[in-house]
Chains A and B, each alone.
Chain A
């Protein structure tokens, strides 16, 4: 069974479009995250949710809006996509400390 899953795996879209990435975890964790990994491989946290409540919003443009319908799901919606949004986006969940990452979504904005 996949512990943390996210869809889609690849996303290619035009500038200005709106897109969503979905994430689900079956580990029973209370905390979920979104990370952005740029071309230089730097892993930067974007959001953290604990039991459906926003804990961290790390100076992310408000074009990015996370939504957590329940503690097993944390989706990411991005409005008005820009070239600089191209990256790999990882969802993750954690119990106490260890982060379990999803497979990543490679977003390419043309």
Chain B
């Protein structure tokens, strides 16, 4: 099955700085790469995703980049704000079309 590794496990940045979270996967056949955000006490929610036919996708302050050769993809958050503080999960489809989630990154944005 798919093996997903996510780094770092915790990340603390100053408001206004950028944050980058990286995810590596093992199955080169994977073709869909989402990022989920989980605020404290809430459910995980999809914030951005990318398919394997593109290398980058942006949505306002967040972007995802994909390197299929190296089998990794990254979440980039620019101009971070305190409301960006949350746990972020990458995920990769597994053989049975379920999602395998990374271990999560706890992002803290200090005002």
Contact = CB atoms under 8 A, between A and B. Distances in A.
A78 interface: no
A22 to B, nearest CB: 16
B32 A97 contact: yes
Contacts of B100: 45
A43 B44 contact: yes
B98 A97 contact: no
Select the residue from B46, B89, B99 with max chain A CB neighbours within 10 A.
B99
A42 B103 contact: yes
B73 interface: no
Contact residues of B: prevailing secondary structure: strand
Interface string B72-111: 0000000000000001010101001111110110100000
Interface residues of A, number: 20
Contacts of A99: 36, 44, 46, 91, 99
B43 A41 contact: no
Contacts of B14: none
- The range of chain B's interface size is 20 to 34
B104 A43 contact: yes
Contact of B46 (A56, A98, A103): A98
Nearest to A101: B43
A99 B101 CA distance: 11
B97 A31 contact: yes
A102 interface: yes
A42 B104 contact: yes
Interface string B38-52: 100011111001000
Interface of B: 32, 34, 36, 38, 42-46, 49, 87, 89, 91, 93, 96-101, 103-104, 106
Interface of A: 31, 33, 40-45, 48, 55-56, 90, 94, 97-99, 101-104
